[in-house]
């Protein structure tokens, strides 16, 4: 998959794509239905925005994203996307009228042939443009438009909001049913305090800054090492939280990979939350903590072996 970070100055070979357009936070089943409608003989593309427009307009809002840009790109690549147009959402883009966006970005800039959006899509300065406005404006530029219906499951709309709610309540399998894939946290393995190593449970530490936090606690997880000589898939158990035993207060993700030996610092991991095992606890001492970690890993192994 080729990634492009502006709508200007692109190679002419990128023109003529059939694209799905939106924020695609989570790349859930509703998003996938939009993407599927863009598939055809033309190269398949995605138009999305970074940062998320909500972050641009309300930078102090609580973290809400299900995916960082890296995780979103990885998921879109798995879906066969050939061109990812990740446009910078800044004052220039936010200030374009609906007419200006269609002319400057979609037609003159990207030269797309077909665009697909969800029925609730809004665009242009002040979010004044609707999906139907997009179709009308694109028709004047010779761009075909498809408006995808919203997707529901058993009467419940599949949305990023409902997925966030499931994760907040510790229901990762319900979130996965709406996503069409496991909810994953992806990023670089960072240096930590190395306490896990001293306890016999060395962990890969990852930041969750900027992401919506699922329920804090311990999870059974599936882990993909995405980079480095030890790339591959592993089972594991992960703790998402603030480590109350050690007086920490900044959440992070600490993952123990079963049957793995090696150094993962600087490598990129994708950690899929499969089942919530228990909430975060504070123990009376290290022996009690280790006993609980033994039990957590046994439970996680049993759950993952049944997948």
For residue 14, how far is the Cα from the chain centroid? 25
Domain assignment present for residue 162? The answer is no
Residues 98 and 233 in one domain: no
Domain assignment present for residue 165? The answer is no
Interatomic CA distance for residues 50 and 71, integer angstroms? 13
8 Å CB contact between 257 and 233: no
Residue 121 DSSP one-character state: -
Domain assignment present for residue 146? The answer is yes
According to DSSP, the residues that pair with 145 across neighbouring strands are 115
Number of H helices, E strands in the chain: 10, 16
Residues 44 and 108 in one domain: yes
| Model confidence, pTM | 0.91
Residues 136 and 193 in one domain: no
Domain assignment present for residue 207? The answer is yes
Handedness of CA 1, 233, 244, 195 (dihedral sign): negative
Interatomic CA distance for residues 261 and 225, integer angstroms? 13
Domain assignment present for residue 268? The answer is yes
Query: What local confidence, expressed as pLDDT, does residue 271 receive?
Result: 98
Active site residues: 254
- CATH label of the domain that carries residue 261: 2.40.30.30
Residues 199 and 267 in one domain: yes
Residues 246 and 114 in one domain: no
Query: What local confidence, expressed as pLDDT, does residue 233 receive?
Result: 98
Q: Order across the sheet with 204-207: list the strands.
A: 183-188, 268-279, 217-225, 232-241, 252-257, 204-207
- CATH label of the domain that carries residue 146: 3.40.50.620
Residues 200 and 115 in one domain: no
| Length of the chain (residues) | 307
Query: What local confidence, expressed as pLDDT, does residue 197 receive?
Result: 65
For residue 274, the enclosing domain spans 182-305
Cis peptide leading into 113, omega within 30 of 0? no
Domain assignment present for residue 213? The answer is yes
Residues 238 and 300 in one domain: yes
In a structure prediction context, what are the per-residue pLDDT tens digits for the chain, which is 307 residues long? Answer: 999 999 999 999 999 999 999 999 999 999 999 999 999 999 999 999 999 999 999 999 899 999 999 999 999 999 999 999 999 999 999 999 999 999 999 999 999 999 999 999 999 999 999 999 999 999 999 999 999 998 888 778 899 999 999 999 999 999 999 999 999 999 999 987 666 666 778 999 999 999 999 999 999 999 999 999 999 999 999 999 986 555 556 899 999 999 999 999 999 999 999 999 999 988 888 889 899 999 999 999 999 999 9
Domain assignment present for residue 171? The answer is no
Q: What is the DSSP string of 8-32?
A: SS--GGGTT-EEEES--SS--HHHH
According to DSSP, the residues that pair with 238 across neighbouring strands are 219, 255
Residues 56 and 131 in one domain: yes
Query: What local confidence, expressed as pLDDT, does residue 18 receive?
Result: 98
Domain assignment present for residue 50? The answer is yes
Q: Quick one: 140 exposed, middle or buried, by C-beta within 10 A (0-12, 13-18, 19+)? A: exposed
Interatomic CA distance for residues 109 and 100, integer angstroms? 11
Residues 134 and 187 in one domain: no
Residues 224 and 266 in one domain: yes
Q: Considering its fold, how many domains does the chain have in total?
A: 2
Interatomic CA distance for residues 206 and 253, integer angstroms? 5
Return the closest-CA partner of residue 147 out of 161, 133, 128: 133
Measured from the Cβ of residue 276, the count of other Cβ atoms closer than 10 Å reads: 20
Residues 258 and 295 in one domain: yes
Residues 289 and 235 in one domain: yes
């Amino acid at each position: 998959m080729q990634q492009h970070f502006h709508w200007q100055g692109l190679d002419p070979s990128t023109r003529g794509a059939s694209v799905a357009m939106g924020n695609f936070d989570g790349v859930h089943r509703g998003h996938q239905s939009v993407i599927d409608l863009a598939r055809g003989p033309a190269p398949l593309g995605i138009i999305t925005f970074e940062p998320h427009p909500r972050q641009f307009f309300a930078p102090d809002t609580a973290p809400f994203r299900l995916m960082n840009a890296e995780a979103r790109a990885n998921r879109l690549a798995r879906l066969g996307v050939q061109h990812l147009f990740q446009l910078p959402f800044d004052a220039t883009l936010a200030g374009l009228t609906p007419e200006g966006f269609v002319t400057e970005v979609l037609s003159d800039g990207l030269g797309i042939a077909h665009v697909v959006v969800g029925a609730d899509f809004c665009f242009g300065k002040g979010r004044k443009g609707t999906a139907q406005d997009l179709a009308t404006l694109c028709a004047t530029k010779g761009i075909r438009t498809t408006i995808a219906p919203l997707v529901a499951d058993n009467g419940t709309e599949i949305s990023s909001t409902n997925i966030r709610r499931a994760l907040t309540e510790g229901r990762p399998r319900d979130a996965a049913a709406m996503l069409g894939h496991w909810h994953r946290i992806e990023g670089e393995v960072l240096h930590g305090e190395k306490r896990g190593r001293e306890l016999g449970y060395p962990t890969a530490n990852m930041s969750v800054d900027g992401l919506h936090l699922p329920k804090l606690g311990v999870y059974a997880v599936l882990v993909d090492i995405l980079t480095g000589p030890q790339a591959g898939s592993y089972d594991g158990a992960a703790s998402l939280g603030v480590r109350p035993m050690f007086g920490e207060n900044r959440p992070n993700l600490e993952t123990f990979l079963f049957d793995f030996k090696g150094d993962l610092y600087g490598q990129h991991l994708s950690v899929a939350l499969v089942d919530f095992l228990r909430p975060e606890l504070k123990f009376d001492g290290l022996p009690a903590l280790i006993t609980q970690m033994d039990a957590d890993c046994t439970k996680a192994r049993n759950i993952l072996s049944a997948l």
